[in-house]
Structure 1
Amino acid sequence: MEIDALRPTGSPRLAGERQEHIELLAAVPTPLPPIIVHRPTMRVIDGFHRVRAARLRGDTTIAARFFDGDESDAFVLAVQLNVTHGLPLALPDRQSAAERIMASHPHWSDRRVASVAGIAPGTVGEIRRRLGSGAADPEARRLGQDGRMRPLDGTAGRLRAGELLSRQPNLSLRQVARAAGISPETVRDVRNRLRNGEDLLPRSRRRDSDTEPRHAAAPEAGTSEDTRPAPVPAPRGEPATGRRAHPLGRSRADVAPDRVVLVKRLAADPALRFSETGRCLLRLLAIHTVREEEWEAIIGNVPPHCSGVVADLAVQLADKWADFATRVRSDVTASVG
Structure 2
Amino acid sequence: MVVEVEIGSLSTAGSPRTSGPDPEHVESLAVAQAPLPPITVHRPTMRVIDGLHRVRAAELRGQSKIAARFFDGDEADAFVLAVESNIAHGLPLTTADRKRAAERIIASHSRWSDRMIASVTGIAPGTVADLRRRLPGGPAGGVSRIGQDGRVRPLNGAEGRRIASELIASDPSLSLRQVARAASISPETVRDVRNRMMRGEDPMPAPRQGRQSGRHESAAARRRGFGTTAVACRASAQERAAVVERLKADPALRFSDSGRTLLRLLNVHTISTEDWEELIDNVPPHCGGIVARLAGDCAEMWTELAARLRRKVTETA
Q: Report TM bin, short chain.
A: 0.5 to 0.7
1:191 deviates by 9.8
For residue 296 of structure 2, what is the aligned residue in structure 1?
Answer: none
Q: Residues 289 and 127 of structure 1: is their aligned pair in 2 closer, same or farther, counting only changes over 3 Å?
A: closer
For residue 106 of structure 2, what is the aligned residue in structure 1?
Answer: 102
Which residue identity does 2:19 align to in structure 1? A
1:314 deviates by 9.0
Alpha-carbon contact 1:45-1:74 (below 8 Å) kept? yes
For residue 152 of structure 1, what is the aligned residue in structure 2?
Answer: 155
State the percentage of identical aligned residues. 54
Q: Residues 315 and 201 of structure 1: is their aligned pair in 2 closer, same or farther, counting only changes over 3 Å?
A: farther
> Paired residue for 1:320, among 235, 240, 257?
235
Deviations 1:9-63 (A, max 9, x none): 2211132222221111101223211212222222211110011111112222222
Q: 1:47 and 1:315 mapped to 2: Cα distance?
A: 18
Which residue identity does 1:313 align to in structure 2? T
Q: Residues 145 and 315 of structure 1: is their aligned pair in 2 closer, same or farther, counting only changes over 3 Å?
A: closer
For residue 2 of structure 1, what is the aligned residue in structure 2?
Answer: 6
Q: Residues 130 and 159 of structure 1: is their aligned pair in 2 closer, same or farther, counting only changes over 3 Å?
A: same
Q: Residues 125 and 192 of structure 1: is their aligned pair in 2 closer, same or farther, counting only changes over 3 Å?
A: farther
Alpha-carbon contact 2:152-2:186 (below 8 Å) kept? no
Q: Residues 326 and 50 of structure 1: is their aligned pair in 2 closer, same or farther, counting only changes over 3 Å?
A: closer
Which residue identity does 2:239 align to in structure 1? A
Q: 1:191 and 1:326 mapped to 2: Cα distance?
A: 27
Indicate whether 1:140 and 2:143 are aligned: yes
> Paired residue for 2:23, among 19, 22, 25?
19
1:30-109 correspondence runs (5 A): 30-109=34-113
Alpha-carbon contact 2:151-2:186 (below 8 Å) kept? no
Alpha-carbon contact 2:98-2:122 (below 8 Å) kept? yes
Alpha-carbon contact 1:119-1:315 (below 8 Å) kept? no
Which residue identity does 1:328 align to in structure 2? A
In terms of mean alpha carbon deviation, does 114-123 or 42-51 score higher? Answer: 114-123
Alpha-carbon contact 2:145-2:153 (below 8 Å) kept? yes
Alpha-carbon contact 1:76-1:101 (below 8 Å) kept? yes
Alpha-carbon contact 2:102-2:117 (below 8 Å) kept? yes
Alpha-carbon contact 2:152-2:185 (below 8 Å) kept? no
RMSD: 4.6
Alpha-carbon contact 2:152-2:184 (below 8 Å) kept? no
1:78 deviates by 0.9
Q: 2:70 and 2:84 mapped to 1: Cα distance?
A: 16
Which residue identity does 1:126 align to in structure 2? D
Q: 2:247 and 2:169 mapped to 1: Cα distance?
A: 20
Local SS of the residue matching 2:15: coil
Q: Residues 20 and 188 of structure 1: is their aligned pair in 2 closer, same or farther, counting only changes over 3 Å?
A: farther
Local SS of the residue matching 1:97: helix
Q: 1:22 and 1:123 mapped to 2: Cα distance?
A: 31
In terms of mean alpha carbon deviation, does 111-120 or 325-334 score higher? Answer: 325-334
Aligned residues between the structures: 241
For residue 236 of structure 1, what is the aligned residue in structure 2?
Answer: none
Indicate whether 1:131 and 2:135 are aligned: yes
Alpha-carbon contact 2:119-2:233 (below 8 Å) kept? no
Local SS of the residue matching 1:63: strand
Alpha-carbon contact 1:185-1:329 (below 8 Å) kept? no
1:109 deviates by 2.1
Local SS of the residue matching 2:40: strand
Q: 1:110 and 1:181 mapped to 2: Cα distance?
A: 18
Local SS of the residue matching 1:62: strand
Instruction: Identify the structure with the greater helix proportion.
Output: 2
Alpha-carbon contact 1:155-1:201 (below 8 Å) kept? no
Alpha-carbon contact 1:120-1:316 (below 8 Å) kept? no
Deviations 1:106-146 (A, max 9, x none): 22222222222233333222211122444547x62333333
Which residue identity does 2:111 align to in structure 1? H
5+ unaligned residues in a row in structure 1: which ranges?
Answer: 168-172, 203-229, 233-245, 249-254, 260-284, 303-309
